Amino acid sequence: MLRRLYAWTMSLAGHPHAFLALGLVSFSESAFFPIPPDALLVPMVLANRDAAYKLAGWCTLTSVLGGVVGYGIGMLLYDSVGTWLISLYGYGNQMDTFRAAYAEWGAWLILIKGLTPIPYKLVTIASGFAGYNFLLFVVLSIITRGARFYIEAWLLRRYGEPIRQFIEHRLELVTTVFAVVLIGGFLAVRYLI
């Protein structure tokens, strides 16, 4: 079943609507969606390595725009939508701690968490909730999300075929590691912050 899903994802990576789908996933992941855009970016770059930087740029742009929506949720709708989203992910009790950390370490939190598997939507909503400087938030988001997606695109463009072979031969292992990293990001926020 996993191999069929992989084959289906790879076939969709070349589909004319794949670019739009990547943008939608990247946008929504920054505000509320649990799956990171890497799940689409990786197969799309592997399917067309010449478009690696275009895809990374698109992913960065849509991620930052989604981050602006997440910031707005935290700033304007925290008592309704923001609280619900944060509670949905199990982090409702940590927002006051997160807000205090933003007062002292805001820029570093955005930069570090934008590169890690820690859910970026928590950073965007918390930034708005904490009233972090909006322009600085956007600039830091461009830096951190851009670095993440462009580094990923560069690696896939440069080492694409060996990476693709590795993924295809060890699909179960790669999927398990991806799931562990994704869940680990959620757990890190819940228990380490």
Nearest C-alpha neighbor of 187 from the set 116, 132, 100? 116
Kindly report the number of other CB atoms within 10 A of residue 22's CB atom.
21
How far CA 21 is from CA of 9, 27, 62, 86, in Å, comes to 12, 10, 11, 25
**Residue-level pLDDT at 43:** 84
Q: 18 near 12, Cβ under 8 Å?
A: yes
- Residue tagged 């004319």 (tokens): 16
Q: Where along the chain do its domains lie?
A: 2-192
| pLDDT digits 0-9 by tens, 31-56 | 877 778 887 888 888 888 899 999 99
CA torsion angle 186 126 19 59 (round to 10): -90
Its pTM stands at 0.76
Q: Where residue 143 falls among pLDDT bands split at 50, 70, 90? A: very high
**Residue-level pLDDT at 182:** 57
Q: Is the pLDDT of residue 111 over 90?
A: no
